[in-house]
Structure 1
């Protein structure tokens, strides 16, 4: 049985600023001018991403769609706050009969975080962003900022928002 450390080492993953470990594995050969980013971007980028029950992906926002693909491990819950402030969740995993999904699209400008509920567990997913990911298009949202804007979601914000200032 492989451990999270086995996956981190075998896949050459490094810590990600939003939480977990990652490595970019693909990007398009060409770039184009993306008006919503006001700059050149790859047409797509794709990463391998490992999360643990102790280290979630903190609330953040991208100005491009992100597709998530489940590979192995425990189910992961993606928490979403739409641009209109509507909160929802999606379960990513391989138990399709219980409503888990193998893949999911996080729409652009959606605030989202991800966590694993199973104790001492981990999961490996892939995430593809189109146009390609660039840190200029990424916003890590603070707990203070989120609690001010979405007080009705305080419980999940307290658990999954970063204390870091952006």
Structure 2
């Protein structure tokens, strides 16, 4: 599993407080996380995967200079903005190269508080620049529950990465 890369810069005081208070650890896609709920109930996905917890939930924090690298999960995922800078969230459908963007934040003209990503879509995220908060804190819920066996990072130099770079060069740095 790839290692998380964290910039050399010092986190903002509030980000540092959240990392410590919420006991967050580095995430392989970038940023910081901690699982806070894993349902004891099991479900059997209809796509042939073995039984999974019905639902999982994590805290996920990105500092301003960090991003969530392009990855996909084989279950539906709900992102909910909790605090800090708005979060730019993209999904990409490799089947038709369709790109969709959403900005998570408090309810506003350009922001929504939550967004659902359908199972199997590529996704990437980063805090909005210029907010000054120094971080974004979100909650992510996955159902059927998250399992690293259902998680795949986009391989640099792979066919998906080459297509993102060609079709959406402004987002290639998130690979």
Residue 146 of structure 2 aligns to a residue in which SS? Answer: coil
Instruction: Give the 5 Å matches for 1:73-88.
Output: 73-82=84-93, 83-88=95-100
Q: Map residues 137-152 of structure 1 onto 2, 5 A cutoff.
A: 137-145=150-158, 146-150=160-164, 151-152=166-167
- Residue 89 of structure 1 corresponds to 101
In structure 2, what is the Cα distance between the partners aligned to 1:117 and 1:77?
A: 6
Partner deviation per Cα, 1:51-78 (whole Å, 9 max, x = no partner): 1121110000111110011110000000
State how far apart, in whole Å, the 2-side matches of 1:156 and 1:109 are: 19
Aligned length: 159
Report SS of the residue matched to 2:170. Answer: helix
When normalised by structure 1's length, the TM-score is: 0.89
Question: How far apart, CA to CA, are the structure 1 residues paired with 2:147 and 2:98?
Answer: 26
For the aligned residues, what is the CA RMSD?
Answer: 1.7
Q: Which residues of 2 match residues 6-155 of structure 1 at below 5 A?
A: 6-36=17-47, 38-82=49-93, 83-94=95-106, 96-119=107-130, 121-145=134-158, 146-150=160-164, 151-155=166-170
SS in 1 for 2:30: coil
Check whether the contact 1:37–1:137 (CA below 8 A) recurs between aligned residues.
no
TM-score normalised by L of structure 2: 0.85
Give the whole-Å Cα distance in 1 for the aligned partners of 2:116 and 2:28: 21
Unaligned runs of 5+ in 2: 1-11
